């Protein structure tokens, strides 16, 4: 695996390599786990060249403490990517991604996606995500971008970004990779205490329960019951919502036909966990 910290040698390398096949790109913030590696595997299967990036993007953290505590395990990450057969790792500094001369902050018109769920509870988060993804896509110009369904709303935001900017990159969304007990893999899971880790699978069980108990009509009693289940299980939930799968329009009622997804965000041990699952 070739590692680049700077943009210009990376671009030079990619210009040569692109003559030999398509480029698949897996952007990450590091502290890699099997969920990230599954994206790398998909990229490898479908492309001549697989590029991963590790960059803990300061502009997408609305909570400075979350940024400071974000786990960094770079040597292990490099080893895992090498084992997986990743061809290129882009490992830039903050100054490389956001040099002083970069044009002033652009506003991305994300509409409702910026107002609900993660957009509501993490103000500015998706603007930061768009800023870094726009920059990374400009540098790597991949044929396909590999994203995880674990961050369902982020997948929609990036799909919208690509559309807004007229970027020709295709987006491939990979299923959520889970621990055996159902907990969605996340870099933040390592910050859970042993007690917290034992409680954590409840978040996925509430999503499964939502699917089992979903009935046409008023969804609010089910939502309240599941919020209460999370509170009783030691979580401090921020939201548990049902939304239309195609655009994340929130739903209090279900007509029995529309495709819905349930989405949840909750603190456990001071760690913010998110998850989602189709319920129809
Ligand atoms: P992150 O490093 O958290 O920014 O994630 C980098 C990419 O990996 C994003 O596209 C995430 O959606 C994806 N990802 C993170 N966790 C998982 C998981 N458990 N299963 C599948 N994809 C994931």
Interval 167-223: pLDDT, tens: 999 999 999 999 999 999 999 999 999 999 999 999 999 999 999 999 999 999 999
Mean pLDDT across 257-268: 98
Q: Of all protein residues, whose CA lies closest to atom 11 belonging to ligand 1?
A: 148
Q: Of all protein residues, whose CA lies closest to atom 13 belonging to ligand 1?
A: 148
The one catalytic residue among 36, 107, 125, 253 = 36
Mean pLDDT across 143-148: 98
Q: In percent, how much of the chain has pLDDT > 90?
A: 95
C-alpha of residue 215 to centroid of ligand 1, in Å: 31
Mean pLDDT across 262-277: 97
> 20, 143 in Cβ contact below 8 A?
no
- Residue list, ligand 1 pocket, CB within 6 Å: 28-29, 35-36, 38-39, 147-148, 150-151, 174, 176-177, 184-187
Structure tokens at 227: 């919020």
Note the pLDDT of residue 103.
73
pLDDT higher than 90, residue 12: yes
C-alpha of residue 269 to centroid of ligand 1, in Å: 21
Burial of 259 (0-12, 13-18, 19+ CB in 10 A): exposed
C-alpha of residue 259 to centroid of ligand 1, in Å: 23
Instruction: Starting at the earlier edge strand, list the strands of the sheet with 271-278.
Output: 236-244, 260-268, 271-278
Structure tokens at 274: 């998110």
Q: Which residues lie across from 265 on neighbouring strands?
A: 239, 274
HEC-encoded secondary structure of 78-129: HHHHHHHCCCEEECCCHHHHCCCCCCCCCCCCCHHHHCCCHHHHCCCHHHHH
Residues 6 or more apart from 92 whose CB is under 8 A from it? 5, 6, 7, 53, 55
Note the pLDDT of residue 20.
79
Note the pLDDT of residue 148.
98
Q: Of all protein residues, whose CA lies closest to atom 7 belonging to ligand 1?
A: 28
pLDDT higher than 80, residue 101: no
Q: In the structure, what pLDDT confidence band is assigned to residue 254 with cuts at 50, 70 and 90?
A: very high
pTM, to two decimals: 0.97
Is 20 or 137 the better-scoring residue by pLDDT?
137
Angle of the 220-232 helix axis to the 202-213 helix axis, nearest 10: 160
Assign residue 122 a region: left if phi > 0, alpha if psi is -120 to 50, beta otherwise? beta
Q: Could you report the per-residue pLDDT of 55-74, keeping only the tens digit for each?
A: 999 999 989 999 999 999 99
pLDDT higher than 80, residue 97: yes
Note the pLDDT of residue 219.
98
> 189, 183 in Cβ contact below 8 A?
yes
Q: Of all protein residues, whose CA lies closest to atom 22 belonging to ligand 1?
A: 148
Residues 6 or more apart from 94 whose CB is under 8 A from it? 58
Note the pLDDT of residue 104.
73
pLDDT higher than 90, residue 105: no
Note the pLDDT of residue 267.
98
Pocket test for ligand 1, best of 27, 35, 154 (most atoms within 8 A of CB): 35
Note the pLDDT of residue 102.
77
Pocket test for ligand 1, best of 52, 151, 273 (most atoms within 8 A of CB): 151
C-alpha of residue 255 to centroid of ligand 1, in Å: 32
Pocket test for ligand 1, best of 55, 148, 204 (most atoms within 8 A of CB): 148
CB-hemisphere CA count at 13 Å for 33?
A: 16
Q: In the structure, what pLDDT confidence band is assigned to residue 265 with cuts at 50, 70 and 90?
A: very high
C-alpha of residue 147 to centroid of ligand 1, in Å: 7
Q: In the structure, what pLDDT confidence band is assigned to residue 18 with cuts at 50, 70 and 90?
A: confident
> 202, 233 in Cβ contact below 8 A?
yes
pLDDT higher than 80, residue 132: yes
Q: In the structure, what pLDDT confidence band is assigned to residue 88 with cuts at 50, 70 and 90?
A: very high
Least confident of 21-25, 98-102, 118-122, 256-260: 98-102
CA 244 to chain centre: 19
Least confident of 95-104, 139-148, 149-158, 162-171: 95-104
Question: Measured at the alpha carbon of residue 203, what is the angle toward residues 257 and 199, in degrees to the nearest 5?
Answer: 160
Question: Measured at the alpha carbon of residue 143, what is the angle toward residues 137 and 148, in degrees to the nearest 5?
Answer: 70
Look up 253 and say whether it is catalytic: no
């Amino acid at each position: 695996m070739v590692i680049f910290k700077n943009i210009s040698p990376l671009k030079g390398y990619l210009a040569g390599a692109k003559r030999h096949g398509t480029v698949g790109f897996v952007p990450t913030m590091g502290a890699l786990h099997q969920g990230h590696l599954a994206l790398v595997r998909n990229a490898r299967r479908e492309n001549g060249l697989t590029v991963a990036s590790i960059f803990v993007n300061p502009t997408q953290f609305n909570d400075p403490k979350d940024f400071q505590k974000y786990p960094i395990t770079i040597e292990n990450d490099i080893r895992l990517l090498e084992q997986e057969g990743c061809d290129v790792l882009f490992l830039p500094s903050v100054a490389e991604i956001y040099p002083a001369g970069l044009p002033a902050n652009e506003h991305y018109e994300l509409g409702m996606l910026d107002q609900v769920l993660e957009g509501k509870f993490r103000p500015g988060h998706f603007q930061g995500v768009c800023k870094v993804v726009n920059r990374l896509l400009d540098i790597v110009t991949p044929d396909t971008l590999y994203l995880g369904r674990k961050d369902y709303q982020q997948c929609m935001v990036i799909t919208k970004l690509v559309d807004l900017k007229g970027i020709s990159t295709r987006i491939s969304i990979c299923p959520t990779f889970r621990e055996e007990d159902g907990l969605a893999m996340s870099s933040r899971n390592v910050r859970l205490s042993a007690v917290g880790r034992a409680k954590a699978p409840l978040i996925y069980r509430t999503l499964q329960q939502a699917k089992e108990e979903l009935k046409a009509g008023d969804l609010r009693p089910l939502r309240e019951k599941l919020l209460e289940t999370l509170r009783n299980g030691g979580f401090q939930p921020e939201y548990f919502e049902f939304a239309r799968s195609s655009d994340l329009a929130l739903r209090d009622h279900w007509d029995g036909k529309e495709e819905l997804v349930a989405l949840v965000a909750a603190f456990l041990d001071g760690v913010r966990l998110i998850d989602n699952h189709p319920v129809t």
